[in-house]
Structure 1
Amino acid sequence: MTRSTFFASTRRAFVAGALGASLGWALLGRRGQAQQRTRTGGKRPPADHCVILTMNGGMAQTDTFDPKPGTRNAGPLAAIDTAAPGLRFSELLPRLAGEARELAVIRSMVTSEGAHERARYLLHTGYAPSGTVRHPDLGALVAQGKHDEEFDLPAYVAVGGGGLGAGVLGVGYEPFRVADPRQPVENLSYAPGVNALRWQRRRKLLTILERRFLRRHPGEETRGHTQVYERADRLMHAAEVEAFSLAREPSGLREAYGQNPFGQGCLLARRLVEAGVPAVEVQLGGWDTHQDNFTRNRELAAMLDAGLASLLHDLRERDLLRKTLVLVLSEFGRTPGINANEGRDHWTRGWSVVLAGGPVRGGQAVGATGRDGTQGVERPVCVPDLFASIFRALGIDPARVNETPNGRPIRAVDAGGKVVGELFA
């Protein structure tokens, strides 16, 4: 049996069975705020937290944040005015229209990646896929830049299937995954038949075995495994673990967010930010609307509208929005034109992403896509530009270098990425 096989089978089997829990995730916290007091160049300091809302499948910009009223491409949807003069949204986003003063919409995103898997990788990591390198995703990079070793909650939480993972950063920055925020999070309490005393005995035995194994098989993989379980133990006994329980929230507030996984994920994100977690990703899937686009988008946009609007309001009421960067991201957009199946296909030449909070200046649109969305892109923004802007908003060094296992240096943000200055003007 090889070392890796032994590590993958024997160790996992022992821990899952004997310890009474299975917690394969990273537990890092945020770095002390004193280390992040660099300025963004504007009047407001960088954000301490980042909430990433991922619209998986490719959100239709024409039906959300870049409507084309009075054109054939608008379909049956109207555009509505917002709280920000001159900024209009689709009628499917009435609550977000009221929050538009907080939102900066980049309407001119461009990419060369039109296939879901490759485009999703680029959106999450800032790099095109490479067969030899697993780049860390945005949440892991934020966790690396903001963590505090003394903080007991995870530095990065992925809700509803989001998050590509830590890549070359290693197990220490893998996300803690919450499948459905409406359900109690698994493995945060003792297993049936295990009390505090039995837990302590098993932890002591595990520690002995870990040390023996580490002496025989030293390496990053082994040390990372040990670190995960040490921090898992800390989380299970931390007072802050209550941040994962939505049962403590008023029923009216839960209704406002929407009684669906995405809406409740946004509420969980607020609770985690309030508790000090640096990075949270919440995924809303189903946007790949090649067919029946308008019926499906009414359902999807309603969830986005309620979840995001409630999150922004909630963060602002708690004086957390100025400390939190909120992102709405999609791997690409959808064609302005409507196909024969009443759907929209993949579109890489002018789609929308949204930023809010922290030092971002809301109430504006950056870039444009013409009267009906097909005339070309004004002020194009690529994904590395977006990443450079996100890192500026968070006060994290984009030139930070991480290394692959074979020693190859990789910048946190591609050197070609340029900050979108309008976001901070």
Structure 2
Amino acid sequence: MEPRNCDGHDNVPELAPGPIQRRDFFKLGIGGALSLALASRLTLEARAEEPSSGKGKGKDTQALPPLVPKAKSIVLLWMDGGMSQMDTFDPKQGANGGGLKKIGTKIPGVQFTEPLAPLADLSDRIAVIRSMTSREGNHQRARYLLHTGYPPTGTLKHPSTGAIVSLKKQNAELDIPHFVAVNNPSFGAGFLGVNYGPFVIQDPSRPPDNVAYAAGIDADRFDRRLKLVEKVDQGFTAARAGLMTDGKDSIYEKSVKLMRSPLLKAFDVNAEPEAVRKAYGIGDGMGGSGRQGNAARGDKFAEGVLMARRLVEVGVPFVEVTLGGWDTHEDGETRVTSLANSMAPAFAALVRDLEDRNLLDSTLVLCMGEFGRTPRINARDGRDHFPGCFSVAMAGGGVKGGQAIGRTTDDGMSVAGTGIEVPDLMATICTAIGIDHTEWFQTPVGRPIQIANKGRLIEGLLQ
């Protein structure tokens, strides 16, 4: 049996270059030693020079639909561990359906389970893909696939969707990170290089650490220290010109910009009115997986989703917020109910909030995990890994709401008809935000890699 952890974070290797943590990202004032340490880290993380791309050899010829991409930002609500489609967006009757009550939605003939009532009320704005399928039933491999569009290999680290968006939607006027991951490091930039990896927020209840001057340090003294670091680094940089030193210099530059940016306030969810915080589910004590201490986990997710709205509002193109605990091998209904009591109100509040601020059309919101759960309930009243069928919910960003795309059989054991593969989802996400999914990157060794792994658009999803 595969080793696992009820958090859904079981034995996860570093499958892609990891994020630059805040402590590495901001401690700029301690002298040249930091420069050397950070450069050493970059040696391990950086995989390529600035990526080249092209649209020639091997290009998929699927015609793009006659639509103008609407999304400017993406918010990914990541249900880590594998969300049960049977207990959320694709409930069934009979023994496989379990004990959770099924409720109607605004989509004709479509039901959700009762814990998703806040989303059922908004289902005219939501599209649910019920026919997602893959062959990856291992957490590590499936997470990698859903984040990159590719199965993991031992020879190449693919960029995550967030990294691709960070690269393709660069905005020189935005002096805060373009790819933010909340509650979990997500996946890195692979062969694109560390400049496009995620900026990690481990605790959304407070602003990022180490972005203020240290005690006794004012702006002038800080600038003098930066100049000293540059002077000490000159010989090192000259002897090691290339990606490693360029990456270090770029990170230093971005660090200073972030420390001085007026947009830092976007990370402060405590600035929101209490009514808004309550709408997202912050402080309601509902919890995250029905176990002791998980009310805090639910709050962290809700705060992360609220932070995502604030970041989108100032122009950040990709934010991922993780809610762990979905690896429900046991006590499934209780745990899914508690998790959904965190996920559904925050998801619904985000949709309403974006709509009220005229941002929903320009923000694509996705809710998904790495795979689904078995239709049959096991002896521990839980469900095991099941990549054959799973669901993805989407709203905003040009998505045509009020529909379910694809279906599963009455017993939930298989997709009815043709399934939708992960590269197809990747292609559709890229198209929604104006990235040509048929474009090819070139790796440092000259290997052509298509952005969406030859995926094709999901018909009828975008408008």
- Which residue number in structure 1 is paired with residue 70 of structure 2? 46
Question: Compared with structure 1, are the counterparts of its residues 372 and 173 closer, same or farther at alpha carbon in structure 2 (3 Å cutoff)?
Answer: same
TM-score, normalisation: structure 2: 0.82
Q: How does 1:152-301 map to 2 (within 5 A)?
A: 152-259=175-282, 260-301=299-340
- Which residue number in structure 2 is paired with residue 116 of structure 1? 139
Counterpart-to-counterpart distance in 2, 1:92 and 1:372:
21
- State the Cα distance separating 1:44 from its structure 2 match: 5.3
Question: Compared with structure 1, are the counterparts of its residues 43 and 171 closer, same or farther at alpha carbon in structure 2 (3 Å cutoff)?
Answer: closer
Question: Compared with structure 1, are the counterparts of its residues 87 and 405 closer, same or farther at alpha carbon in structure 2 (3 Å cutoff)?
Answer: same
Counterpart-to-counterpart distance in 2, 1:19 and 1:316:
48
Does residue 422 of structure 2 align to residue 398 of structure 1?
no
Q: Does the 8 Å contact 1:40/1:393 carry over to 2?
A: no
Structure with the larger helix share? 1
Query: Given residue 74 of structure 2, which amino acid in structure 1 is its aligned partner?
Result: C
Q: Which runs of 5+ in 2 are unaligned?
A: 1-23, 46-62, 283-298
Query: Given residue 459 of structure 2, which amino acid in structure 1 is its aligned partner?
Result: G
What whole-Å deviation, never above 9, does each CA across 1:144-178 have from its counterpart, x for those lacking one?
11111232011100000041111111011011100
Q: Percent identity?
A: 46
Question: Compared with structure 1, are the counterparts of its residues 138 and 283 closer, same or farther at alpha carbon in structure 2 (3 Å cutoff)?
Answer: same
Query: Given residue 109 of structure 1, which amino acid in structure 2 is its aligned partner?
Result: M
What whole-Å deviation, never above 9, does each CA across 1:176-221 have from its counterpart, x for those lacking one?
1000101231122112332212111111212223443221210101
Counterpart-to-counterpart distance in 2, 1:107 and 1:362:
14
Counterpart-to-counterpart distance in 2, 1:400 and 1:153:
27
Q: Which runs of 5+ in 1 are unaligned?
A: 1-10, 27-38
- State the Cα distance separating 1:404 from its structure 2 match: 2.7
Q: How does 1:39-118 map to 2 (within 5 A)?
A: 41=65, 45-68=69-92, 70-118=93-141
Q: Does the 8 Å contact 2:206/2:270 carry over to 1?
A: no
- State the Cα distance separating 1:73 from its structure 2 match: 1.4
TM-score, normalisation: structure 1: 0.89
Question: Compared with structure 1, are the counterparts of its residues 314 and 109 closer, same or farther at alpha carbon in structure 2 (3 Å cutoff)?
Answer: same
Counterpart-to-counterpart distance in 2, 1:65 and 1:153:
35
SS at match of 1:93: helix
Counterpart-to-counterpart distance in 2, 1:267 and 1:42:
33
Query: Given residue 279 of structure 2, which amino acid in structure 1 is its aligned partner?
Result: A
Counterpart-to-counterpart distance in 2, 1:407 and 1:274:
38
Q: Does the 8 Å contact 1:338/1:344 carry over to 2?
A: yes
Deviates more, 1:158-167 or 1:316-325: 158-167
- Which residue number in structure 2 is paired with residue 17 of structure 1? 30
Query: Given residue 389 of structure 1, which amino acid in structure 2 is its aligned partner?
Result: T
Q: Does the 8 Å contact 2:185/2:198 carry over to 1?
A: no
Counterpart-to-counterpart distance in 1, 2:185 and 2:399:
24
Counterpart-to-counterpart distance in 1, 2:191 and 2:421:
23
Q: Give me the CA root mean square deviation.
A: 2.4
- Which residue number in structure 1 is paired with residue 295 of structure 2? none
Does residue 459 of structure 2 align to residue 421 of structure 1?
yes
What whole-Å deviation, never above 9, does each CA across 1:270-304 have from its counterpart, x for those lacking one?
00000100000001110000000011111101111
